[in-house]
Structure 1
Amino acid sequence: MTLKRQATALSSADAAPRDYVLEDQIGHLIRRAHQRASAIFDQVMEGFDVTPVQYAALAKLHDLGPTSQNALGRLVGIDPATMFGVAGRLAKRGFVSPSVDPNDARLVLLELTDFGRETVTAMKARGFEVSERTLAPLSAEEAQTLTHLLARLG
Protein backbone atom coordinates (compact mmCIF):
# COMPACT_ATOMS: atom_id res chain seq x y z
CA MET A 1 0.00 0.00 0.00
CA THR A 2 1.37 3.41 -0.90
CA LEU A 3 1.88 6.09 1.72
CA LYS A 4 -0.94 8.14 0.19
CA ARG A 5 -3.37 5.17 0.38
CA GLN A 6 -2.28 4.46 3.97
CA ALA A 7 -2.89 8.07 4.92
CA THR A 8 -6.34 7.98 3.28
CA ALA A 9 -7.20 4.72 5.06
CA LEU A 10 -6.09 6.12 8.41
CA SER A 11 -8.06 9.33 7.99
CA SER A 12 -11.15 7.32 6.98
CA ALA A 13 -10.69 5.03 9.98
CA ASP A 14 -10.27 8.05 12.26
CA ALA A 15 -13.42 9.69 10.86
CA ALA A 16 -15.63 6.65 11.36
CA PRO A 17 -15.40 6.49 15.17
CA ARG A 18 -16.28 10.19 15.50
CA ASP A 19 -19.40 9.62 13.40
CA TYR A 20 -20.43 6.54 15.36
CA VAL A 21 -23.05 7.28 18.02
CA LEU A 22 -23.94 4.28 20.16
CA GLU A 23 -27.42 5.56 20.95
CA ASP A 24 -28.26 5.60 17.23
CA GLN A 25 -27.31 1.96 16.60
CA ILE A 26 -30.06 -0.61 16.06
CA GLY A 27 -28.51 -3.21 18.36
CA HIS A 28 -28.33 -0.72 21.21
CA LEU A 29 -31.90 0.44 20.61
CA ILE A 30 -33.23 -3.13 20.49
CA ARG A 31 -31.33 -4.00 23.68
CA ARG A 32 -32.82 -0.97 25.48
CA ALA A 33 -36.32 -1.83 24.25
CA HIS A 34 -35.76 -5.42 25.41
CA GLN A 35 -34.71 -4.15 28.85
CA ARG A 36 -37.94 -2.13 29.03
CA ALA A 37 -40.09 -5.08 27.94
CA SER A 38 -38.33 -7.42 30.38
CA ALA A 39 -38.77 -5.04 33.32
CA ILE A 40 -42.46 -4.64 32.49
CA PHE A 41 -42.80 -8.43 32.11
CA ASP A 42 -41.28 -8.89 35.59
CA GLN A 43 -43.74 -6.38 37.09
CA VAL A 44 -46.85 -7.73 35.37
CA MET A 45 -45.98 -11.40 35.90
CA GLU A 46 -44.82 -10.93 39.48
CA GLY A 47 -45.63 -13.97 41.60
CA PHE A 48 -45.37 -16.51 38.78
CA ASP A 49 -41.56 -16.69 39.07
CA VAL A 50 -41.16 -17.48 35.36
CA THR A 51 -38.68 -15.90 32.95
CA PRO A 52 -39.80 -14.46 29.60
CA VAL A 53 -38.17 -17.42 27.82
CA GLN A 54 -39.95 -19.92 30.07
CA TYR A 55 -43.21 -18.08 29.50
CA ALA A 56 -42.71 -18.20 25.73
CA ALA A 57 -42.21 -21.97 25.90
CA LEU A 58 -45.26 -22.44 28.12
CA ALA A 59 -47.47 -20.18 26.01
CA LYS A 60 -46.51 -21.91 22.75
CA LEU A 61 -46.96 -25.33 24.34
CA HIS A 62 -50.40 -24.19 25.49
CA ASP A 63 -51.22 -23.21 21.90
CA LEU A 64 -49.95 -26.45 20.35
CA GLY A 65 -50.53 -29.21 22.86
CA PRO A 66 -47.89 -31.93 23.28
CA THR A 67 -44.85 -30.95 21.21
CA SER A 68 -41.31 -32.22 20.88
CA GLN A 69 -38.80 -30.28 22.92
CA ASN A 70 -36.75 -29.67 19.79
CA ALA A 71 -39.69 -28.31 17.76
CA LEU A 72 -40.83 -26.13 20.66
CA GLY A 73 -37.37 -24.62 20.93
CA ARG A 74 -37.32 -23.81 17.21
CA LEU A 75 -40.77 -22.25 17.36
CA VAL A 76 -39.86 -19.88 20.19
CA GLY A 77 -36.32 -19.18 19.02
CA ILE A 78 -34.39 -21.10 21.67
CA ASP A 79 -31.30 -23.10 20.75
CA PRO A 80 -31.37 -26.82 21.67
CA ALA A 81 -28.99 -26.55 24.65
CA THR A 82 -30.96 -23.69 26.17
CA MET A 83 -34.27 -25.44 25.47
CA PHE A 84 -32.98 -28.54 27.26
CA GLY A 85 -32.35 -26.43 30.37
CA VAL A 86 -35.65 -24.56 30.09
CA ALA A 87 -37.59 -27.82 29.73
CA GLY A 88 -35.78 -29.30 32.71
CA ARG A 89 -36.57 -26.31 34.93
CA LEU A 90 -40.23 -26.27 33.81
CA ALA A 91 -40.54 -30.00 34.52
CA LYS A 92 -38.88 -29.63 37.93
CA ARG A 93 -41.42 -26.95 38.85
CA GLY A 94 -44.32 -29.13 37.69
CA PHE A 95 -45.36 -27.05 34.68
CA VAL A 96 -44.60 -29.67 32.04
CA SER A 97 -44.36 -33.42 31.83
CA PRO A 98 -41.68 -34.83 29.52
CA SER A 99 -42.11 -38.22 27.83
CA VAL A 100 -40.57 -40.18 24.99
CA ASP A 101 -42.32 -39.66 21.66
CA PRO A 102 -44.03 -43.00 20.83
CA ASN A 103 -43.33 -42.42 17.12
CA ASP A 104 -39.66 -41.51 17.52
CA ALA A 105 -37.78 -42.56 20.66
CA ARG A 106 -35.10 -39.93 19.93
CA LEU A 107 -37.56 -37.12 20.68
CA VAL A 108 -38.76 -35.85 24.02
CA LEU A 109 -42.38 -34.70 24.06
CA LEU A 110 -43.39 -31.93 26.40
CA GLU A 111 -46.94 -31.61 27.63
CA LEU A 112 -48.42 -29.11 30.05
CA THR A 113 -49.51 -30.53 33.36
CA ASP A 114 -52.82 -29.39 34.85
CA PHE A 115 -50.82 -26.98 37.03
CA GLY A 116 -48.91 -25.74 33.98
CA ARG A 117 -52.11 -25.22 32.01
CA GLU A 118 -53.71 -23.26 34.89
CA THR A 119 -50.58 -21.15 35.33
CA VAL A 120 -50.09 -20.32 31.66
CA THR A 121 -53.79 -19.49 31.30
CA ALA A 122 -53.46 -16.99 34.15
CA MET A 123 -50.25 -15.60 32.67
CA LYS A 124 -51.76 -15.22 29.20
CA ALA A 125 -54.57 -13.17 30.77
CA ARG A 126 -51.87 -10.68 31.81
CA GLY A 127 -49.82 -11.00 28.63
CA PHE A 128 -51.57 -8.24 26.73
CA GLU A 129 -50.68 -5.81 29.53
CA VAL A 130 -46.97 -6.44 28.96
CA SER A 131 -47.30 -5.49 25.29
CA GLU A 132 -49.57 -2.53 26.01
CA ARG A 133 -47.24 -1.08 28.64
CA THR A 134 -44.14 -1.71 26.56
CA LEU A 135 -45.64 0.05 23.55
CA ALA A 136 -47.37 2.81 25.57
CA PRO A 137 -45.04 5.63 24.40
CA LEU A 138 -46.11 4.97 20.78
CA SER A 139 -49.32 5.75 18.95
CA ALA A 140 -51.43 2.76 17.91
CA GLU A 141 -50.18 3.12 14.33
CA GLU A 142 -46.53 3.36 15.45
CA ALA A 143 -46.94 0.32 17.69
CA GLN A 144 -48.43 -1.68 14.82
CA THR A 145 -45.63 -0.59 12.46
CA LEU A 146 -42.92 -1.40 14.99
CA THR A 147 -44.42 -4.82 15.70
CA HIS A 148 -44.64 -5.56 11.97
CA LEU A 149 -41.04 -4.44 11.33
CA LEU A 150 -39.63 -6.40 14.25
CA ALA A 151 -41.45 -9.50 13.04
CA ARG A 152 -39.71 -9.07 9.68
CA LEU A 153 -36.31 -8.83 11.39
CA GLY A 154 -36.90 -11.91 13.52
Structure 2
Amino acid sequence: MSDAAESRAEYRLDDQIGYVLRRVTQRHLAIFAAHIPEVTTTQFAVLARLAEVGPLSQNQLGRATAMDAATIKGVVDRLARLDYVATAADTEDRRRLTVSLTDSGAALFAARAATALAVSGETLAPLTPDEQSQLLTLLARLT
Protein backbone atom coordinates (compact mmCIF):
# COMPACT_ATOMS: atom_id res chain seq x y z
CA MET A 1 0.00 0.00 0.00
CA SER A 2 1.31 3.48 -0.85
CA ASP A 3 2.03 6.05 1.88
CA ALA A 4 -0.92 8.16 0.70
CA ALA A 5 -3.31 5.21 0.77
CA GLU A 6 -2.01 4.16 4.19
CA SER A 7 -2.50 7.72 5.54
CA ARG A 8 -6.07 7.79 4.22
CA ALA A 9 -6.77 4.41 5.82
CA GLU A 10 -5.47 5.61 9.22
CA TYR A 11 -7.13 9.02 9.21
CA ARG A 12 -10.64 8.90 10.61
CA LEU A 13 -12.30 12.30 11.07
CA ASP A 14 -14.32 11.23 14.12
CA ASP A 15 -11.05 10.39 15.93
CA GLN A 16 -9.44 13.81 15.36
CA ILE A 17 -9.13 16.16 18.35
CA GLY A 18 -9.93 19.31 16.37
CA TYR A 19 -13.11 17.81 14.97
CA VAL A 20 -14.26 16.49 18.36
CA LEU A 21 -13.48 19.81 20.09
CA ARG A 22 -15.39 21.72 17.40
CA ARG A 23 -18.44 19.49 17.88
CA VAL A 24 -18.28 19.92 21.66
CA THR A 25 -17.90 23.68 21.20
CA GLN A 26 -20.92 23.80 18.88
CA ARG A 27 -22.97 21.93 21.49
CA HIS A 28 -21.82 24.27 24.26
CA LEU A 29 -22.53 27.38 22.17
CA ALA A 30 -26.08 26.16 21.47
CA ILE A 31 -26.70 25.50 25.18
CA PHE A 32 -25.24 28.90 26.09
CA ALA A 33 -27.32 30.78 23.50
CA ALA A 34 -30.50 29.07 24.70
CA HIS A 35 -29.91 30.19 28.28
CA ILE A 36 -28.07 33.51 27.87
CA PRO A 37 -29.36 35.17 24.71
CA GLU A 38 -28.18 38.68 25.57
CA VAL A 39 -24.51 38.08 24.71
CA THR A 40 -22.18 35.58 23.08
CA THR A 41 -19.78 33.36 25.00
CA THR A 42 -16.85 35.62 24.11
CA GLN A 43 -18.77 38.71 25.21
CA PHE A 44 -19.70 36.98 28.48
CA ALA A 45 -16.03 36.09 29.02
CA VAL A 46 -15.17 39.80 28.84
CA LEU A 47 -17.91 40.67 31.34
CA ALA A 48 -16.73 37.88 33.65
CA ARG A 49 -13.08 38.94 33.54
CA LEU A 50 -13.94 42.60 34.17
CA ALA A 51 -16.21 41.59 37.05
CA GLU A 52 -13.38 39.49 38.46
CA VAL A 53 -10.46 41.94 38.18
CA GLY A 54 -11.92 45.37 37.43
CA PRO A 55 -11.03 47.76 34.60
CA LEU A 56 -8.25 46.71 32.25
CA SER A 57 -6.60 48.14 29.19
CA GLN A 58 -8.09 46.67 26.03
CA ASN A 59 -4.76 44.96 25.37
CA GLN A 60 -4.64 43.41 28.87
CA LEU A 61 -8.28 42.38 28.55
CA GLY A 62 -7.53 40.58 25.29
CA ARG A 63 -4.70 38.66 26.92
CA ALA A 64 -6.82 37.91 30.00
CA THR A 65 -9.60 36.43 27.84
CA ALA A 66 -7.36 34.69 25.25
CA MET A 67 -8.43 36.95 22.37
CA ASP A 68 -6.19 38.57 19.78
CA ALA A 69 -6.18 42.35 19.34
CA ALA A 70 -8.68 42.41 16.46
CA THR A 71 -11.11 40.07 18.22
CA ILE A 72 -11.07 41.90 21.56
CA LYS A 73 -11.60 45.23 19.79
CA GLY A 74 -14.70 43.90 18.05
CA VAL A 75 -16.05 42.33 21.23
CA VAL A 76 -15.47 45.52 23.24
CA ASP A 77 -17.06 47.66 20.51
CA ARG A 78 -20.19 45.46 20.49
CA LEU A 79 -20.42 45.42 24.29
CA ALA A 80 -20.03 49.21 24.36
CA ARG A 81 -22.90 49.58 21.84
CA LEU A 82 -25.00 47.40 24.15
CA ASP A 83 -23.97 49.63 27.10
CA TYR A 84 -22.38 46.72 28.98
CA VAL A 85 -18.87 48.22 28.97
CA ALA A 86 -17.43 51.71 28.74
CA THR A 87 -14.09 52.73 27.30
CA ALA A 88 -11.95 55.71 28.22
CA ALA A 89 -8.44 56.92 27.53
CA ASP A 90 -6.04 55.77 30.23
CA THR A 91 -5.11 58.62 32.57
CA GLU A 92 -1.39 57.71 32.42
CA ASP A 93 -1.18 56.88 28.72
CA ARG A 94 -3.78 58.55 26.51
CA ARG A 95 -2.99 56.11 23.68
CA ARG A 96 -4.20 53.20 25.83
CA LEU A 97 -7.92 52.41 26.07
CA THR A 98 -9.28 51.28 29.44
CA VAL A 99 -12.37 49.06 29.47
CA SER A 100 -14.72 48.84 32.45
CA LEU A 101 -18.13 47.39 33.21
CA THR A 102 -21.08 49.74 33.16
CA ASP A 103 -23.84 49.36 35.74
CA SER A 104 -25.90 47.44 33.19
CA GLY A 105 -22.94 45.19 32.33
CA ALA A 106 -22.31 44.45 36.00
CA ALA A 107 -26.03 43.77 36.50
CA LEU A 108 -26.16 41.42 33.51
CA PHE A 109 -23.14 39.49 34.74
CA ALA A 110 -24.55 39.26 38.27
CA ALA A 111 -27.92 38.11 36.93
CA ARG A 112 -26.43 35.51 34.57
CA ALA A 113 -23.40 34.12 36.48
CA ALA A 114 -25.40 31.30 38.05
CA THR A 115 -26.97 30.54 34.67
CA ALA A 116 -23.50 30.39 33.10
CA LEU A 117 -22.46 27.86 35.75
CA ALA A 118 -25.55 25.82 34.90
CA VAL A 119 -24.63 26.00 31.19
CA SER A 120 -21.21 24.54 32.00
CA GLY A 121 -22.93 21.86 34.05
CA GLU A 122 -25.29 21.03 31.20
CA THR A 123 -22.41 20.86 28.73
CA LEU A 124 -20.57 18.41 30.99
CA ALA A 125 -23.68 16.49 32.08
CA PRO A 126 -22.98 13.34 30.01
CA LEU A 127 -19.85 12.78 32.15
CA THR A 128 -19.55 11.64 35.76
CA PRO A 129 -18.18 14.20 38.24
CA ASP A 130 -14.79 12.45 38.17
CA GLU A 131 -14.76 12.45 34.36
CA GLN A 132 -15.70 16.15 34.32
CA SER A 133 -12.79 16.98 36.60
CA GLN A 134 -10.40 14.84 34.59
CA LEU A 135 -11.53 16.37 31.28
CA LEU A 136 -11.07 19.93 32.54
CA THR A 137 -7.64 19.05 33.96
CA LEU A 138 -6.52 17.46 30.69
CA LEU A 139 -7.85 20.31 28.55
CA ALA A 140 -6.09 22.86 30.77
CA ARG A 141 -2.81 21.03 30.06
CA LEU A 142 -3.38 21.57 26.32
CA THR A 143 -3.74 25.35 26.60
Per the TM superposition, whether the score is higher than 0.5 is yes
Aligned counterpart, 1:139: 128
Aligned counterpart, 2:45: 56
Aligned counterpart, 2:79: 90
Aligned-pair Cα RMSD in Å: 1.1
> Greater Rg, structure 1 or structure 2?
1
The amino acid across from 1:42 in the alignment is A
Q: Percent identity?
A: 43
1:106 offset after TM fit, Å?
Answer: 1.9
Equivalent residue of 1:106, what SS?
A: coil
1:107 offset after TM fit, Å?
Answer: 1.1
Aligned counterpart, 1:23: 14
Structure 1 position 12 matched with structure 2 position 3: yes
Equivalent residue of 1:138, what SS?
A: coil
Equivalent residue of 2:94, what SS?
A: strand
Aligned counterpart, 2:27: 36
1:104 offset after TM fit, Å?
Answer: 1.6
1:44 offset after TM fit, Å?
Answer: 1.5
The amino acid across from 2:30 in the alignment is A
Q: Is the 8 A contact 1:44 1:129 kept in 2?
A: no
Distance 2:133 2:101 in 1: 31
TM-score by length of 1: 0.89
Consecutive unaligned residues of structure 2, counting only runs of 5 or more, are: none
1:137 offset after TM fit, Å?
Answer: 0.4
Aligned length: 143
The amino acid across from 2:28 in the alignment is A
Deviations 1:38-81 (A, max 9, x none): 111011213x2x01100101110111111111111111111101
Equivalent residue of 1:78, what SS?
A: coil
TM-score by length of 2: 0.96
